[in-house]
């Protein structure tokens, strides 16, 4: 299937969701995203890293350097309490949006 | 609270800039290595894997620049860069700098003088009815 651009404003939601399950480094996040969406979404590192740094500056993420699965030192990103709260808000908003769109498409 | 956090983050970035840049560099390098390692597992030669991984990242410098310009403090950062650049240019050409200063000084001075004149002659009447009839 063709790749699709990630809809505006949803990258952060997906990053936060992925990081709420496990701490990951940049490459790990992009791999996870591709795997979870069956390669429909492939995040461009030029968008991923700015988002990660922004989230970190906002205190939603914390990072630490530690050896990765294949023994390279990598920067792991971890959700903070503020990040969890942000995720909840994002998620609630997204649920409303997708419900609203589905209502239109199904046109009851 | 969030504002305070952002200001602190911006300052931290400005003060520890070199270190932060090195971290970002290392982080992007590990991205390339991880990506290349995955590709080599699929049977691609190391050289080709590294080349593809770099392509996938889309240029270390471009990514770094995007991260930099997307941070809090990027505006302030640009501003201080511009200031440094301006002061360097001006100290390198002192005559040019002097010409600018004199031009600005004369321009502002002439404006002030003429406005002062017009202000007192035409704009500011005495606070009475028909001041031109006063003797």
**What confidence tens digit (pLDDT) does each residue in B2-49 have?**
778 778 888 887 788 888 888 899 999 999 999 999 999 988 899 999
| CB-based contact A87:A80 (threshold 8 Å) | no
Residues of A in contact with B37 (CB under 8 A): 70
Report whether pLDDT(A3) > 90. no
Residues of B in contact with A44 (CB under 8 A): 58
Measure the CA–CA gap between B51 and B32, rounded to whole angstroms: 9
**What confidence tens digit (pLDDT) does each residue in B64-74 have?**
999 988 888 78
Residue to mutate among A12, A15, A27, with most B CBs inside 10 A, is A27
Distance from CA of B31 to the nearest CA of A (A): 5
Residues of B in contact with A27 (CB under 8 A): 30-31, 34-35
Report the predicted TM-score, pTM, of the whole model to 2 decimal places: 0.74
| CB-based contact A81:A58 (threshold 8 Å) | no
């Amino acid at each position: 299937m063709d790749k699709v651009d990630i809809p505006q404003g949803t990258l952060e939601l997906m990053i936060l969701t992925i990081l709420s399950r496990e701490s990951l480094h940049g490459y790990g996040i992009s791999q996870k995203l591709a795997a979870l969406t069956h390669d429909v979404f492939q995040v461009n590192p030029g968008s991923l890293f700015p988002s990660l740094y922004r989230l970190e500056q906002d205190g939603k993420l914390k990072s630490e350097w530690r050896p990765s699965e294949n023994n390279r030192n990598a920067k792991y990103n971890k959700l903070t309490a503020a990040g969890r709260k942000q995720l909840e808000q994002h998620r609630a908003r997204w649920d409303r949006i997708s419900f609203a769109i589905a209502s239109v498409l199904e046109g009851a | 609270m969030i504002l305070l956090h952002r200001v602190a983050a911006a300052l931290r970035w400005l003060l520890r800039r070199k270190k932060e840049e090195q971290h970002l560099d290392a982080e992007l390098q590990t991205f390339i290595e991880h990506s290349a390692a995955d590709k080599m597992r699929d049977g691609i030669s190391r050289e080709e894997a590294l080349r593809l991984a770099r392509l996938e990242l889309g240029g270390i410098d471009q990514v770094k620049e995007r991260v930099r310009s997307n941070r809090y403090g990027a505006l302030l950062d640009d501003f201080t860069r511009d200031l440094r650049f301006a002061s360097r240019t001006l100290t390198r050409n002192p005559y040019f700098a002097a010409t600018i200063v004199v031009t600005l000084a004369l321009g502002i001075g002439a404006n002030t003088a003429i406005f002062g004149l017009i202000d007192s002659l035409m704009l500011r009447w005495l606070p009475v009815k028909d001041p031109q009839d006063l003797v």
